Amino acid sequence: MVVKVSTIIQNYWLPIIGLNGTILGCSVVIAGLSPRTWTANSQFILPDTTTNLDASLGTLGQIKNQGIAFTNELSPLQVQTSIITSNEVIRPIWASDPEKNKYPVLESYKKLFQVKAVNQSTTIQVEVQGSLAELAKQRTNRLIKSYQRRLNELRQGTSASRQQFSQVQLEDAERKLRIAKNKLADFKKSTGLVSSEDQTKNLVEAIKSTRMEKTQASAQAQAAKIRANVLSQRLGMSPSKAMNSLRLSQNKEYQALRQKLSEIDTEIAVAQGDFTGEHPVIQSLKQKRDELLTALYKQRVEVVPNAEGIDTSFGGNTFKDTTVEIIAELIQADAESNALQKQASQLQNEVNNLQSQLTKISTQQAELSDLQRRYDIAEGVYKGIVAQLEQTKISAFSAYPNVQVLDQPRVNPKPISPKLSLIALGAIASSILGTSALISFLESRNPLLKPKDLQDMELPILARIPTFKSATLGLMLESASEIGFQRLASTISLMPLENRRLMVTSSTPGEGKTTMTLGLAAALCFLGFRVLMVDADFHQARLSHYFGYVLPKETTALPTPVKINYRWDLLPAMQISDGRAVEFVARGGFERHLDAIQKTGKYDYVIVDSGPVGSTSEAALMAAAIANVLLVIQLGVSDRYMVQETLEQLMRHHARIIGLALNGVEERTDGYVYKRDDKQVNS
């Protein structure tokens, strides 16, 4: 991104400076020629206008004058602001203004007056503009006088209209009050009924209290019934049967017979251990038991005629005190439930009686109350109109209070326009936007190569090399850019290259062809190949300068390879003129010399760094000796027209363009990290 910005600035610095200079000049002219404007400020305050008006309206309440009421929906300050900026106030000032010709329309003149109500206060701020300080002050004074005159006109008109309206309303209210009073008096006289609100209230309270007692009695009866049911389930008998069982347990004769029956049963049990069932002793004992059972049954019938379902086992030692207590509690709960139910029924009858009395009263009382209500309303309306009529007489400022001048007009010594800060800010914004627009326009016409142009070339991209930052390449390829060279070398090693030769060139200088040649050669050596690196740029000879093997100028001797390391040799460039360089290549001298050196050195690859095709004549001619060409381009730097022309020239010379190498690609910061030779490498 930094490289791209610097490239753009480098390409368009002259029009950018011209544009920003123009903007700066226009800003200075605007600041110098803009008319000066002064403002005069003043403040109005809305005083308290509360009066002592306090009139009773009967059932409608009271009417009081609370002064000025501020709410979210309506603010008296906003009303006053509208009056100050109204046409009736501004027009007299405009008519006598010395600069009236500058403002042919009243609406344009009103823009000189800014009126604002201050929040959370009763103050109004006024700001008046003028081309001169004294003129701004003069307009402010005239505004105050015109505003106060308009307030007096509005007060007089409002007071007159209110009095006229209130007088008509007063006569109508008086007539309605008289009619309501007569109807109320006639009804009381004909029915003899006087307002009995206390009696009605007492009846309502009595009904309410009786209903509460009835509800409480019903609740208690229900609770007693539930308790009786629980006890009945516990004993396994109803309350009546429990009472009968209790009677049997308290009958002495019945309990004595049961005791004798128990003793006979014991004797029978003992005798059966000694005799058989047919023995006379046992038969005699059984006869006695039957007689006791008969007597016991007769006694039970006498005590409890209907003894079905009762517990006849009570009595003697088997009858427990707790059982007696439960039976007693059951009987008590049952009796209490019945008593409370009767009480609730009586209370309900009392409630019905009270409601009947209330109904008889409410029939006529409702009509009486309605007549009384109408009379009270008529009386309240009448009193209200009387109070309003008195209010209009004692206060002429209720609708339009007397706004007082809090601060006399004062002029700001500094003009409010032109504002240099806004002009400067506008200039900065114009500069930024204008520069962006200019760059976008120039970029649209810019011949520099873009990613979209690569798609039209239909050539494979063999390498994407980021910006190279190392001082030297060496043979240890470990940085992200050097790994890119390794990938390029691997791709080249798999391609069938004629004579194992490859020419690395570009369309114009500065696109990185020498760096690409150096990196590719080092990467091939790293892969184990023997490489001859040929400096065929007879004009710049950057490879030769890089390794320090620069031949003398205009020498006639052909250069010989120089050993860089055991796998890497360099053939320095001849320092000859343009004409001789073209002749040397065109007559085949360069090809013959390269054939001899390649045959003698037994190199696996010959990498030739030629001059730019678009800047030299001999670079395209080298295609006869080196058919395989790797074209180096750099986005944002290479000229797309020059690149297209370079491709056409190479194809006319029957060169085989194996692909493109992109130089200066932005490097990704993330990647796979691995170690080699105790160093970290990002992939």
Confidence band (pLDDT; 50, 70, 90) for 53? low
Question: Whole-angstrom Cα distance, residue 412 to residue 405?
Answer: 18
Note whether 407 and 45 are within 8 A (CB): no
Full-model pTM: 0.41
* Residue 556 predicted with pLDDT over 80: no
Question: Whole-angstrom Cα distance, residue 353 to residue 7?
Answer: 108
Which residue in the block uniquely carries the two structure tokens 């009987």? 331
Reported as a single tens digit per residue, the pLDDT across 370-419 is 877 887 888 888 787 777 777 665 555 666 676 777 778 887 776 766 66
HSE-up of 584 (CA within 13 Å, CB side)? 22
Overall average pLDDT of the 342-350 stretch: 84
Count the Cβ atoms, other than its own, within 10 Å of residue 363.
8
Note whether 166 and 392 are within 8 A (CB): yes
- Assign residue 64 a region: left if phi > 0, alpha if psi is -120 to 50, beta otherwise? beta
Q: What are the Cα distances from residue 141, in Å, to 36, 168, 220, 326? A: 21, 42, 88, 105
Question: Whole-angstrom Cα distance, residue 275 to residue 268?
Answer: 10
Give the pLDDT confidence score for residue 204 in this predicted structure: 80
Count the Cβ atoms, other than its own, within 10 Å of residue 573.
25
Note whether 484 and 493 are within 8 A (CB): no
Reported as a single tens digit per residue, the pLDDT across 135-190 is 888 888 888 888 888 888 887 877 777 777 777 777 888 888 888 888 778 877 77
Overall average pLDDT of the 639-643 stretch: 82
Backbone angles phi, psi at 102, to 5 degrees: -75, -20
Give the pLDDT confidence score for residue 55 in this predicted structure: 58
Question: Whole-angstrom Cα distance, residue 249 to residue 243?
Answer: 10
Give the pLDDT confidence score for residue 524 in this predicted structure: 92
Q: Which of 82, 84, 207 is CA-nearest to residue 150?
A: 84
Q: Higher model confidence: residue 423 or residue 675?
A: 423
* Residue 271 predicted with pLDDT over 60: yes
Give the pLDDT confidence score for residue 232 in this predicted structure: 73
* Residue 478 predicted with pLDDT over 50: no
Superfamily of 451-682 according to CATH: P-loop containing nucleotide triphosphate hydrolases (3.40.50.300)
Cis peptide before 104 (omega within 30 of 0): no
Note whether 113 and 130 are within 8 A (CB): no
Burial of 458 (0-12, 13-18, 19+ CB in 10 A): exposed
Give the pLDDT confidence score for residue 164 in this predicted structure: 74
Burial of 653 (0-12, 13-18, 19+ CB in 10 A): middle
Instruction: For the chain, give the longest Cα–Cα distance.
Output: 170
Tokens matching residue 398: 């209720």
Note whether 60 and 380 are within 8 A (CB): yes
* Residue 498 predicted with pLDDT over 70: yes
Note whether 316 and 258 are within 8 A (CB): yes
Q: Which of 224, 226, 227 is CA-nearest to residue 216?
A: 224
Q: What are the Cα distances from residue 203, in Å, to 210, 353, 362, 560? A: 10, 10, 11, 136
Tokens matching residue 368: 């009486």
Give the pLDDT confidence score for residue 307 in this predicted structure: 54
* Residue 305 predicted with pLDDT over 90: no
Please count the helices (runs of H) and the strands (runs of E) in the chain.
19, 16
Task: Name which of 59-63, 236-240, 464-468 the model is least confident about.
Answer: 59-63
Overall average pLDDT of the 610-632 stretch: 87
Give the pLDDT confidence score for residue 58 in this predicted structure: 58
Question: Whole-angstrom Cα distance, residue 554 to residue 26?
Answer: 58
Question: Whole-angstrom Cα distance, residue 247 to residue 299?
Answer: 12
Q: Higher model confidence: residue 95 or residue 406?
A: 95
Overall average pLDDT of the 530-534 stretch: 93
Give the pLDDT confidence score for residue 251 in this predicted structure: 66
Give the pLDDT confidence score for residue 529 in this predicted structure: 93
- Assign residue 218 a region: left if phi > 0, alpha if psi is -120 to 50, beta otherwise? alpha
Q: What's the distance, CA 124 to chain centroid?
A: 37
